[in-house]
Amino acid sequence: MRDLFRFLHRIRSTLMFIGLMLVSLVLLYNGNAHHRAQAISSSNSVVGTIFSWRKEITDYASLKEVNRKLAEENARWRNRHISTYTPVEGLFARIHDSIFQQEYRVVAAKVVNSTWHKPKNFLTLNKGSRAGIRADMGVIGTNGIVGIVRETTPSFASVISVLSPEIKTSVQLRRTGHFGLLYWDTNDPATASVIDIAKHARVAVGDTVETRGGDGTFPSGITVGVVESVEDQPGNNYHSIIVHLTEDMTSTGFVYAVDDLQRMERDSVQKAHAQ
């Protein structure tokens, strides 16, 4: 017995090494599933604060670009606003109608940190649960989708970027309406693949890919990208499509977290249906 204790004492540093290694491997492999491990993320308030200091400084370098983007976006909305349409004939009058109900609410936030050259990428937003951002909400940018909220603290949120193989967003071709999944396996921040579009669908280079919606994450019809190449491998029933992402993930400045106001209702109906 004493020999055993002496032996254990002698290899105590190796034992400690094995213990610490096990802890980190557990964290590593449960990192995406386990909620405790998810808390090790950049939405932590100390980390978020340090990143936002950095952003305060680097923001000045990109002000011009951000202003241009915001102005462009304003122009786009203005084009869709009712006041830019003049009635051609006096046949229709606008009345207060109750046909439409607001389905989505957006929260504007600033990206304080982002990566795009790792195998799995994240963004940190400067707003969190206090601004109404919750886990699983979709995040869109000026020109396209950005990612999905993973974890929030009162004033920060960490977002899994679309440049991560664990996110598969349901998308469709705007022209034909065929469904597929957006999946990032290209290792290039400017492109992604669309999988699961059957070969009989006619896909052309230059087709627009948009979100399908209905999953409670993204509204439908948000532009995602433009088809860059379509390949058909023999023996595969699906196209291999590469799309060029319309949102430049390397320069995302302001983004919108999308809150689906009907999500709970829809989820409960779907759950009732599944049982």
Catalog residues that contact other proteins under the rule CB under 8 A: 12-14, 16-17, 20-21, 23-31, 37-38, 40-42, 44, 46-47, 50-51, 54, 115-120, 122, 158, 165, 187-189
Q: Pick between residue 44 and residue 223 the one whose CB is nearest to other proteins.
A: 44
CA-based Rg of the chain, rounded to a whole angstrom?
Answer: 23
- In angstroms, the CA 266 to CA 275 distance is 14
Instruction: Report phi then psi at 209, rounded to 5.
Output: -110, 130
Minimum Å gap between C-beta 236 and other proteins is 17
Asked if residue 104 lies in contact with residue 261, where contact means CB atoms within 8 angstroms, the answer is: yes
Instruction: Determine the 3-state secondary structure of 59 from DSSP.
Output: helix
Minimum Å gap between C-beta 78 and other proteins is 35
Q: Pick between residue 109 and residue 173 the one whose CB is nearest to other proteins.
A: 109
Minimum Å gap between C-beta 134 and other proteins is 18
DSSP code for 238: B
Q: How many CB atoms lie within 10 A of CB 191?
A: 17
Q: Pick between residue 16 and residue 198 the one whose CB is nearest to other proteins.
A: 16
Q: Pick between residue 72 and residue 136 the one whose CB is nearest to other proteins.
A: 136
Q: Pick between residue 16 and residue 108 the one whose CB is nearest to other proteins.
A: 16
Q: For 120-182, give the DSSP string.
A: S-EEEES--GGGT--TT-EEE-SSSEEEEEEEE-SS-EEEEESSSTT-EEEEEETTT--EEEE
Q: Pick between residue 26 and residue 269 the one whose CB is nearest to other proteins.
A: 26
Minimum Å gap between C-beta 166 and other proteins is 10
Minimum Å gap between C-beta 49 and other proteins is 12
Minimum Å gap between C-beta 8 and other proteins is 14
Asked if residue 201 lies in contact with residue 176, where contact means CB atoms within 8 angstroms, the answer is: yes
Longest distance between any two alpha carbons in the chain, whole Å: 101
Minimum Å gap between C-beta 20 and other proteins is 5
- In angstroms, the CA 261 to CA 252 distance is 25
- In angstroms, the CA 204 to CA 206 distance is 6
- In angstroms, the CA 119 to CA 160 distance is 12
Q: Pick between residue 115 and residue 193 the one whose CB is nearest to other proteins.
A: 115
